[in-house]
Amino acid sequence: MAGVAQPACSPDLLSEASFCKLHALLFLAAPEFELAQASNTAMSFLQQPGAFSWRDCGVSLAVANISALLGYGSNTNSLRAAFDFTIQRFNEHIMLSHSTTHHVAPPSKIRSGAPEAKSEENWRLLQVSKRMTLDSLHTAMRCPSGIATFQNSLAFVGIMFCFIHILCLAKRETQIDPKLSISLCLLFGPDEIEWALIAGYLNRLAQLRPVTDYLVQCAQQGLWLKKPEEGEPLPEDFSVRGLVWAYFAFCPGWFDSDEDEDLLRNVETSRTQEARADRPLYYGLRLAFETPYLSYDATSATFSAGSGMTTSSTAQALQPLRTDIADLQAQLNASNPNAQYSPPSAPASSASNSDYVHVKRPAKRVQTAPSPQT
């Protein structure tokens, strides 16, 4: 009604709504001018201090941005094809490495070659998704120093660092398939990340949450931070459980807790904050030990950006999360020499059917001219 004052919206609600609108337009493949306008609006909120609630919306933003990069589940998306390729490669490597005394079926045919050629329409949408993902990440890396600020950004950063680690893993594995490797790099490669910002964020975080010898040891050996019986999932872990890029994110049994799942999703304690702070440091160390993009000086306990071009002679090979399969096989052989350990058929991050609602992108309607009246 005219003359009636409208309720004022807080900046954080406006920024949240702007990202919801942007992702909806991306999903619906909106025209370029609509996407440009929505993208500029969302990014302007993100860059205003205090306008975006990293604490309340950071996890959703990270998951949604990565989903957009993956083409919202498109089978022809280059990044999705690279992740599927990487997962298949490691699963077959695990099977072959445990087939010395027992027959194992030959590996299934790995998808080879680049995915189907992208139309200009899909390429346009993916460029917007990439810009949004990188801008969000780099903005979080520039957050002001302070305990409260870092606590608010930690969940978002932990998810993004986990994604970056598997991205680097996929880049290495797809090198045996030049077409797929080139397609991946054209879409989204580690070289596009501002690693100096990543190192700066980690150094500021390390001043608030020191890097322990235990963290370094876990990262060097590719082991998860906690055994299932010793730790419990963070609330944000449930948001990425079952996603293809999070296949290697958690150790088996990580979600097999006797605790009420709703309680783990919604209730935070001081231990939650400590574990959340360890995640970015853990993935930062793994990236430093396994890739040329970051380096870590144990003497000064500081991170720095690497060359990003060639792998250091001291860098260890990129690897997914170790699950101590060799130890499990040794235990089985001790009790039963004929026993054979079978890797799980589903990832440790398997989701329940109630975690997500899958919606297909609607087909665009072709508008036709009205029939002439007689």
How far is it, in rounded angstroms, from Cα 2 to Cα 270? Answer: 50
What's the DSSP call for residue 174? Answer: G
What pLDDT is recorded for position 80? 87
Least confident span in 94-98, 286-290, 340-344:
340-344
| pLDDT tens by residue, 276-303 | 999 999 999 999 999 999 999 999 999 9
Answer whether residue 83 is part of any domain.
yes
Q: Could you tell me if 171 and 184 are in contact, meaning their C-beta atoms sit under 8 angstroms apart?
A: yes
348: in domain? no
Describe the chain by its helix, strand, coil percentages, rounded to 5: 55, 5, 45
Residue 354 has pLDDT above 50, yes or no: no
User: 354-365: string of b/e by CB count within 10 Å (b at 16+)?
Assistant: eeeeeeeeeeee
Domain assignment present for residue 175? The answer is: yes
Residue percentage of the chain with pLDDT more than 90: 39
pLDDT above 70 coverage of the chain, percent = 72
Judge whether 349 lies within some domain.
no
pLDDT exceeds cutoff 70 at 261: yes
With respect to residue 1, please indicate whether it lies within any of the assigned structural domains: no
**Residues forming a β-bridge with 296:** 303
Q: How far apart are alpha carbons 282 and 202 in whole angstroms?
A: 10
Supply the DSSP string of 269-338, one letter for each residue. Answer: -HHHHHHHHHHHHHHHHHHHHH-SSEEEETTTTEEEE--SSS--TTPPPP---B--HHHHHHHHHHH-TT
- pTM of the complete model: 0.79
What is the total count of domains within the chain? 1
Is residue 131 in a domain? yes
**Domain-embedded: residue 342:** no
**Containing domain of residue 147, as a range?**
12-100+108-335
Tokens of 209: 């949450």
